Chain A
Amino acid sequence: MFRYVFTAIGSAAVACAMSMPAAAQDYPTKPVTVIVPFAPGGASDTIGRLATQIMQPTFGQPLVVENKPGANGAVGAAELSREAPDGYTIMAASIGTLGINPALQEDLPYDPREDMEILTVAVRTPNALVTRPDIEATTAEELIAALKENPDAMLFASSGTGSSDHLTAELFWQVTGTSGIHVPYKGGGPAQTDLMGGHADASFQNLGAIANFVREGKMKMLALAASERSPDFPDVPTFAELGIEGMEVYSWQAFAAPKGLNPAVKDVLVTSITEALKSPQATEQLQKMGFEVLANSPVEADAFVADEIARWTEVIKAGNISPEG
């Protein structure tokens, strides 16, 4: 009986080997894994799932989202960089994984530009300067004046050390010549809660995440770190309008693949991902979540990521921020 089993297994193995894709033009011939290096329910997960869901009908093969959370995306990203560049494993990750980790962590087990090809920067959402509802300052200028009067006094909540909102606060202090106390939290939720409860004074949060709180008067929004005003909050100025340069900060999500992808395969992936993101269905849903669809080309995406890494490396250096304390 065992002989039959082995024969069966053997022939199955041979069959599998023979069905291996011989040429890139056949791509895709088997399911594609989309690594999301964060827990389900987060922004990267949502983007990954939304995009693959829309890609699915025309892609020809199933797209399977796999959550591999850990170390702000480092665990999943390291896994991606070890995979074969055959187009059957890609990743949907965030500014933290691709833009900040390389600037912050010394012994990172991957390099987003050496080990990976950025397929496209999918979406972005600006960070907004928000405060507790009962703070005296009603404009960003007043807040900055108060900060200058009392240096190292105001509590800036962030969703964690080295998070995009922490670094935005750091950048804000650097460009305005002010200072404050950084109070890190475990994720955006608790930080926003303490801000609403008045236990912290100010914070930089993703516009999409706090839009409703601002509308309900649970937080005050003083300025937007974007290139232009948000149509939802036409009264809130951008930092550039206030004469504060260099304060354009977006949180973004991007798709990446292991380095050395066959150009034809890369083309298929980039086209189907960007088309999915640009579809009216996705654009509308993403807009509701506060995201602006970028869906740029691989060349633009790579340059963008390079700029981000350089920029945050500088902020981290100037702010003397390090995970070593």
Chain B
Amino acid sequence: MDLLSDLLLGAQTAFSVWNLLYCLLGVFLGTAIGVLPGLGPTATIAMLLPVTFGLAPETALIMLAGIFYGAQYGGSTTAILVNLPGESSSVVTALDGYQMARKGQAGKALATAAIGSFVAGSIATVLIAFFAPMLAEVALVFGPHEYFSLMVLGLAASVVLASGSLLHAVGMILFGLILGLIGTDVNSGEMRYTFGLWSLADGISFVIVAMGVFGLGEILSNLENETERSTVLTKVTGLMPTRNDLKRIAAPVMRGTAIGSVLGILPGGGAMLASFASYAIEKKASKRPQDFGKGAIEGVAGPESANNAGAQTSFIPMLTLGIPSNPVMALMIGALIMQGIQPGPSVIQEQPVLFWGLIVSMWVGNLMLLVLNLPLIGLWVKMISIPYGFLFPAIVAFCAIGVFSLNNATFDIWLMGLFGIAGYVLRKLDCEPAPLLLGFVLGPMLEEHLRRAMLVSRGDATTFVSRPISAVLLILALLLIASILAPQIRAKREEAFQDEE
């Protein structure tokens, strides 16, 4: 069988001493970078890009890929421990992961994330090996209409994320959508809400909003009750998930992997929907949806698996079509070009060593991450028992440096500070930051695809329902909204009756 010889070639490449070493270096660096708040894989890979010029192409790509998925692992660690999501996918992990950590289950949450990610990564790698060329065609089926409908589904799912009032969830999503408008309008090239500042022309980076609203906002509210916090953290229970826990997370991990693998293939922002689509599904599927947002282990397992599976399959459009699905993939294409390889459909045939070596190394890297991270959990848990008075200034410092490194501009630090104030005040008003961030991520894509779809179909809105994939996605979104509203309406009625009593 061809595949077998291909995989053998890949194994030979991935298991060569140098490639193993660079893979390890990549995942280690990635984890370390991911853990530092604000510093993401994009900035790191950008900085390390010149280092890879001297390496063989496959070695360079293996290391860069290692940094990418290593950073995903590290990012969840920060999200769980200190409620600081470094990218859109870990916003969801922070929701229940941080609550678990506050209950003294940080170890369990981290282990769940690591195990879920490993399982998902392994399955997704197999998927890539078997189906990459076929799956690439799927990416081309999605046009503006399909993407718009997908974003609508994503918006519906983000309402599910809120644990409090539905009204405020919608309000915060709208606020997020509006924040996302800032910058140059893709369709007309016009600058909107930039107040004459050229630094705002490309919009506000997600990391700035997340670090401000989540990170600084959280720190400010923690400072109000410092003594309370330290007592909460003294009782650390079980580092590892129990057999019962493993049973609970098995189905979420599988569902998350499936969702993540599918969405990751779509280059137009599918991967970032993966984690919260998974969260929405788990919350809907759970018998105890009221536990979500208060430390449900399923709420960590599902999205983490989805995220990692999506991260792996997002390599498919890059490797088979030469299309970048996120900034990291764009950098990898840049790295390949510098190596004299033009990414595109011919890479599999012309560069089998590179293609299959990378695929096998992804699995190896995931295994390395598991082995690297499980023993580290004890250390991480100890780290949050550092007195908060020492911990929070360090977090603020990392946030400021990390935010600077996005565009190498101090302007972004100012913005982060402003968002910190906003985050703190909104918290006081019971307005949750998670829907805000998701609205912020989805907003620009929603508008871009809607306006493009209308342009392409010459103003005919019926095309959204006459195209089958788009129609199915819209129906799913409708069903989801109905299922959110139904209990709400019921609760309203009950409330009304209670008021009368």
Indicate whether A and B are direct neighbours in the complex (CB within 8 Å): yes
Q: Which of B118-143 contact A (CB under 8 A)?
A: 139-143
Taking a contact as CB atoms under 8 Å apart, the answer to whether B323 and A189 are in contact is yes
B456 contacts A by Cβ under 8 Å: yes
A214 to B370: give the CA distance in the assembly, Å: 42
The complex places the Cα of A281 from the Cα of B287 at a distance, in Å, of 64
Chain A contacts with B in 199-257, Cβ cutoff 8 A: 199-200, 208, 211-213, 215-216, 218
Q: How far is the CB of B58 from chain A (nearest CB, A)?
A: 17
Residues in chain A within 8 A of chain B (CB atoms) = 39-42, 45-46, 49-50, 53, 65-72, 74-75, 78, 104, 107, 109, 155, 160-162, 181, 183-186, 189-190, 192-194, 196-200, 208, 211-213, 215-216, 218, 285, 288-289, 323-325
Q: Are A211 and B407 in contact (CB under 8 A)?
A: no
State the CA gap A107–B184 with chains docked (Å): 15
Question: Which of A40, A72, A325 has the most chain B CB atoms inside 10 A of its CB?
Answer: A40
Interface string of B216-249 (1 = CB under 8 A from A): 0000000000000000000000000000000000
Asked whether B198 lies within 8 Å of A193 as measured between CB atoms, the reply is no
Q: Can you list 28 contacts pairing A with B, beta carbon distance less than 8 Å?
A: A39-B46, A39-B330, A40-B45, A41-B46, A41-B330, A41-B333, A41-B334, A46-B337, A53-B53, A70-B199, A71-B198, A74-B198, A74-B201, A155-B455, A160-B189, A161-B186, A161-B189, A184-B452, A185-B452, A189-B324, A193-B268, A193-B317, A194-B143, A199-B144, A211-B342, A212-B343, A215-B346, A216-B345
B-side interface residues toward A, CB under 8 Å? 45-46, 49-50, 53, 139-144, 184, 186-191, 196, 198-199, 201-202, 267-268, 317, 321-324, 327, 330-335, 337-338, 340, 342-346, 407-409, 448, 452, 455-456, 458
Cβ of A219 to closest chain B Cβ, rounded Å: 11
Residues in chain B near residue A104, CB distance under 8 A: 189
Q: Which residues of B contact A181 (CB under 8 A)?
A: 455, 458
Let me know if B140 and A161 touch, CB within 8 A. no
A155–B190 alpha-carbon span in the complex (Å): 21
Question: Taking A41-B49, A74-B201, A184-B187 as contacts, is the C-beta distance between A49 and B346 under 8 angstroms?
Answer: no
A310 and B65 CA atoms in complex are apart in Å by 44
Q: Which residue of A lies closest to B322 (CB)?
A: A212
Instruction: Give B406 Cβ to nearest chain A Cβ, in Å.
Output: 9
Residues of A with C-beta under 8 A to B198:
70-71, 74-75, 78, 109
Neighbouring B residues of A46 by C-beta, 8 Å? 334, 337-338
Q: Is the CB of A50 within 8 A of B456?
A: no
Enumerate chain B residues within 8 angstroms of A162, measured Cβ to Cβ. Answer: 189
B289 to chain A, nearest CB (A): 36
* Nearest Cβ on chain B to A66's Cβ, whole angstroms: 6
User: How far, in whole Å, are A108 and B455 apart by their CA atoms in the complex?
Assistant: 29
Task: Please report the C-alpha to C-alpha distance between residue A218 and residue B342 in the assembled complex, in whole angstroms.
Answer: 15
Question: How far apart are B163's CB and chain A's nearest CB, in angstroms?
Answer: 33
- Take A46-B338, A155-B456, A194-B144 as given contacts and tell me if A70 and B201 are in contact as well, using a CB distance cutoff of 8 Å: yes
Residues of chain B with a CB closer than 8 A to A53's CB? 50, 53
Whether B141 pairs with A325 at a CB distance below 8 angstroms is no
Q: Is the CB of B46 within 8 A of A186?
A: no
Q: Is the CB of A216 within 8 A of B346?
A: yes
